[in-house]
Amino acid sequence: MRLHLNKIKMNSKINFLIIILVLLFGSVSYAQSSGTIEGVITDTQNNALPYASVMLKGTNKGAMSDNNGRYVISNVAEGDYTITAEFLGFITFESEISVIQSKNIKNIQLEAKSTSLNEVLIYGEYTRGQAKSLNEQKNAGNIRNVVSSEEFSNFPDRNAAETLQRFAGVSITRDKGEGE
């Protein structure tokens, strides 16, 4: 009887060990393998683009590039994805990538958005009051500042006294913050 109990105990230990091994290795074989996508985001002159957004289309996986333009997207299930990169003022980048169980390197180069203009002509003309005041100032026999009334209206001051303080040799007093 004693031998029989020892065999049962021995068999139950072996059975328990087998169950544990099956659970451990069985779960590993069913686990989906994953990889990592990493790279550097630059512009066409190879300058790093910090804080660019990188996403895998159709997933919630993504990253933001660091100060050196480097990004890392971890725990990506194996498979084929479309990777997108965006940075303000640059054309959105899209490319296909196949993720395998190891590190996947995907360096991204973004091209700047630009709009070219054919020709720009700028015409300027002094108004009659400004031209008169500049001519008077130029032809004065002594140092003189001449400002037209049109020019006064362009200053952001609240009153004429505050506008006059802008000229050399003029000082004003203030009462409750307003110039007099």
Helix (H) or strand (E) holding 147: none
Contact between 28 and 93 (Cβ < 8 Å): no
The answer to whether domain 36-110 has CATH 3.40.50.1240 is: no
Residue 30 tokens read as 């069913």
Residue 123 tokens read as 């015409």
Give 56-102 pLDDT, tens digit per residue: 998 999 999 999 999 999 989 888 999 999 998 899 999 999 888 87
Q: Is 2 in a helix, a strand, or coil?
A: helix
Q: Which residues touch 38 (CB under 8 Å, ≥6 apart)?
A: 70, 71, 72, 73, 103, 104, 105, 106
Domain ranges of the chain: 36-110, 128-179
Question: What residues in the chain have per-residue pLDDT under 70?
Answer: 1-32, 122-129, 147-150, 152
Helix (H) or strand (E) holding 38: strand 34-43
pLDDT at 175: 83
The number of residues making up the chain comes to: 180
